[in-house]
Structure 1
Amino acid sequence: MKPGDKAKLSKQTFLHKGIFIFTGSTVEIKEIQENKAIVIYNDKEGYPHDLEMNLTDLTPVS
């Protein structure tokens, strides 16, 4: 995966700063670090949120 790619979250649904982040949501890769990625998650109102995720919690979208 590289910046700009789309991925799906495989991590179980969790709460982040008062926003539910749902399993199976599509995110955009913003930045890749060693074993982590910064992704952009758009909530149901369309507002973007940056999340730090483990690469193991992301599945590439084909």
Structure 2
Amino acid sequence: MKVGDKVKLTKRTFLHQGIFIFTGSTVEIKEIHPEKALVIYNDKEGYPHDLEMNLEDLAPLA
């Protein structure tokens, strides 16, 4: 995985600042750190949200 890649979330659906983040959603990698990645999640209205995710909660698109 590298910056700019689109990946899917494997983490179970969760609530983040009043927004449901759904399992299987496609996100774009914004930054990569040793254990975590900052990703951009677009909600159903198309607004982007930055999320910090563990690398094991991300998988390549099939």
What's the TM-score once normalised by structure 2's chain length? 0.98
Kindly indicate whether residue 29 of structure 2 is the aligned counterpart of residue 29 of structure 1: yes
| Structure 2 Cα separation of the partners of residues 44 and 61 of structure 1 | 19
Instruction: Map Cα deviations across residues 3-37 of structure 1 (whole Å, 9 max, x no partner).
Output: 00000000000000000000000000000001100
Aligned sequence identity (%): 79
Aligned partner of 1:56 in structure 2 is: 56
| Residues matched between the structures, number | 62
What's the CA shift for 1:38?
0.1
What's the TM-score once normalised by structure 1's chain length? 0.98
Runs of 4 or more above 3 Å deviation: none
What's the CA shift for 1:61?
1.4
Gaps of 5+ in 2: none
Aligned partner of 1:39 in structure 2 is: 39
| Structure 1 Cα separation of the partners of residues 2 and 35 of structure 2 | 13
| Structure 2 Cα separation of the partners of residues 34 and 18 of structure 1 | 28
Calculate the aligned-residue CA RMSD, in Å.
0.6
| Structure 2 Cα separation of the partners of residues 58 and 36 of structure 1 | 10
